[in-house]
Structure 1
Amino acid sequence: MKILIIGYMHPKLDKRVSRTVSSLSKSHEIIYQYWTDREEKKYQDGNITYIPIKYTKGTKGNPLRKLLNRRALDKIICDLIKNEDYDILYMHHFLASRPLEPFKIAKKRNKKIVYDIHEYHPENFLAELPAIIGDLKTAVLWHLFKKQLKLSDLAIFVSGETRNDVIDKVGITKDKTFIMPNYANFILKPDIQKKQKEIVLVGKVTRKIEDEKKLLNILINKGFSFKVIGMDSQEFDDIPHASTSFLPYNEMMEELSKAAFSLISYNTVKDRHYKNDIFALPHKYYDSIAAGTPVIVKESFISMAKQVEELGIGLVINPSNTEQSIEKIQKAYENYETILKNIEKYQKYFVWSQEKEQEFLKIIEL
């Protein structure tokens, strides 16, 4: 069976996208389109034909201007979907300027369509638009998103909460869906001897942590340190911290494993009820537990907060309640060994495995 995987604007080694490529290539022929900002040529390696498509990110202008600049890129990908020989179209995003066309092309060709939904698209797409225009955009995106899902044979979500919320709004049946969180690659068993009294923030995208900065400054005065893994930004200039540049995955995990806590509390946009955050199970969450590091999770992040409380693998805070949050963090540090034991007990659920891969392959091949 041949599978055309559209990575769209994801780079070749994006963890979630490359995992699907690697897993599916074990028993199927793969055509893999990915984004690059360099001159690269199409090539084949084993069961995988790699099709790089060059595009320069960071185009200046407002969001709508950036959207218009995607038209040439999106046409190339539509032509690929129209002309390549494949049995399954696997979409890792929709095309910004042609959101329905790939689905319609594949459906007209009687191909199976798998839609891997990394984010809560109606809110996440062009999230930086002003409020009034943003509300109109969200309404339009819901209309398009519903059509995309109706045309798809299988929709893959990162969390049950996202899936259930979308089902309630769109009306697709649960048997057309599958949950595949952003699992980590491997486990590092917790080692209390290696732990530093440090709180880390992981990620390559800058997040707003205005409420959290108050907590961090107090905790720094109480003997904790703060480190940002994978980036530095002016966003953190007003708080004492160390930082690293972007690290390869193995190095990032090793750095993360040394920390006492991983902070997963932030605002991506001004809206504190932004569903792309509250229903998310991001890579940094799974990587933290897999690295043996307890998490500090914002209570409004429903999907993560529920798991953290049920499994005892960290703590849940309301960052705007400074006094209560500081008390919770200090108490967690006093009971640190118990939390590490819970993490070691449940780590296997946070890591990609042969069993999870077989379950994924089975649902794709149905």
Structure 2
Amino acid sequence: MKICMLTSGHDVYDNRIYYKEILSLKKQYDDIYIVAPGDKDFVTEDGVIIKCFPKRKNWRDRFRPMKDMYNIAKTIGADVYHAHEPDSFQVAVKLKKNFGSKIIYDSHEYYPEAFSEHFPAIKGIMEKVIYNYEKVLAKKADCIITVNDILVNKFKKYHSNVILLPNYPVLKDEEMIKEYNPIPTFIYVGGLREDRGIYKILEAAKLINVNCKYIFVGPFESESFKSKCDEYIKNNLQDKDIIFTGKIPHTKVFDYLKTAHAGFVLLQPHNWRYVNAEPIKLFEYMITRTAVIGSDFPMVKAIVDPSGSGMVVKPDSPESIAKAINNLANDIEKTKTMGENGFNKVKKDYNWSLCESRLLEAYSLLR
């Protein structure tokens, strides 16, 4: 079976697409392609053939990449085209119509809700338009793959073959051994944006009297937000141990996670998509034996509380965040136990090996 992944907006080495789905499929299928935005064609060290088209200039630049993707994909002649966005799935639908290929729609985002945010004045109208557009397309899929129960239930209303593949982490062959900093260390990993709770963490740090270290691993996503944080630190946190690493190689991230006692997952509550998400960052902390300070949203709470892997807080309340930091910093042994609890839970219930078998079974039914 020849397989071709289609993506209009994800990187070739996207964690879900490449390191989870493709490497799982490589265990049974040799002939795998990715058609994705990039600078040049190449073959990965795993033998996956990459075909590239120029990246889109902005979110409005949609039709030219779709045309490029179709022109490349039709030359591959795949048995299955596996698409990761509504745009790329529209290409897959055309390929099915013209060549009789099987097609998969892999929906890992709340696309109608996300796209409508570009049109704040008519957000509700646009959300309905995109929802109906996605519905018409998705009915033509041979299989729909998605990441949580909310999306599974949405698609099951009009499609009989819907597979749940959460974004669980891949278990490593070698488990991470912690090398804790001597003082309580709190970490955030990811893009630094206000809606990720970064500013709230800084405001909480001002309320903390315990000697703690704070590490922010990742790039600021705007200069204006960087300036806002720098100004707050200058005026309020000169006596705090705060490190911003900037963008660093993926392998270096684990050097910082090794030292951390707890990690922040503080998506802000103003966005419906955030409130109804299972952030991959949550599982990535857990798999590295790092206790969690998470938003008190239903999906996060349902993972953190039963597993005893951390604490949930009101993510827009510096006082609530500060209370959790104080609790964890003042009882390091309990915090380490939370980290161990999280690791054990991921190892048992929240890892990619559980999803891999479902993915391979879904493909076997498309032969």
TM-score normalised according to structure 2 size: 0.82
Deviation per CA, 1:148-178, whole angstroms, max 9, x where unpaired? 22111222222224323x247x4434x4222
2:357 aligned with 1:358? yes
Aligned to 1:62: none
Deviation per CA, 1:181-231, whole angstroms, max 9, x where unpaired? 242453644637446422222113634324444323223x43223221021
Superposition map of 1:146-185 within 5 A: 146-164=135-153, 166-167=154-155, 170-173=157-160, 175-184=161-170
Root-mean-square deviation (Å): 2.8
* Letter of the 2:169 counterpart: Y
Distance 2:91 2:46 in 1: 30
CA positional deviation for 1:126? 5.4
Unaligned runs of 5+ in 1: 60-65
In the superposition, relative to structure 1, how do residues 55 and 199 fare at CA in structure 2: closer, same or farther (>3 Å)? same
Superposition map of 1:244-283 within 5 A: 244-267=245-268, 272-275=270-273, 277-283=274-280
Distance 1:342 1:250 in 2: 24
- Kept in 1: contact 2:180–2:259 (CA 8 A): no
The correspondence for 2:185, drawn from 198, 201, 212, is 198
The correspondence for 1:32, drawn from 10, 31, 34, is 34
Query: What secondary structure does 2:139 align onto?
Result: helix
Query: What secondary structure does 1:258 align onto?
Result: coil
CA positional deviation for 1:136? 2.3
Aligned to 2:339: 340
Unaligned runs of 5+ in 2: 221-225
Deviation per CA, 1:236-261, whole angstroms, max 9, x where unpaired? 32235311132232221231231121
**Larger CA deviation: 14-23 vs 48-57:** 48-57
Superposition map of 1:306-325 within 5 A: 306-325=302-321
Aligned residues: 343
TM-score normalised according to structure 1 size: 0.83
2:90 aligned with 1:100? yes
Superposition map of 1:17-166 within 5 A: 17-19=17-19, 20-28=21-29, 29-36=31-38, 38=39, 40-43=40-43, 47-55=47-55, 57=57, 59=58, 66-67=59-60, 69-95=61-87, 100-125=90-115, 127=117, 129-164=118-153, 166=154
In the superposition, relative to structure 1, how do residues 18 and 145 fare at CA in structure 2: closer, same or farther (>3 Å)? same
In the superposition, relative to structure 1, how do residues 124 and 72 fare at CA in structure 2: closer, same or farther (>3 Å)? same
Distance 2:76 2:110 in 1: 29
- Kept in 1: contact 2:290–2:336 (CA 8 A): no
- Kept in 2: contact 1:215–1:319 (CA 8 A): no
Identity of aligned residues (%): 20
CA positional deviation for 1:91? 0.5
CA positional deviation for 1:330? 2.6
**Larger CA deviation: 337-346 vs 291-300:** 337-346
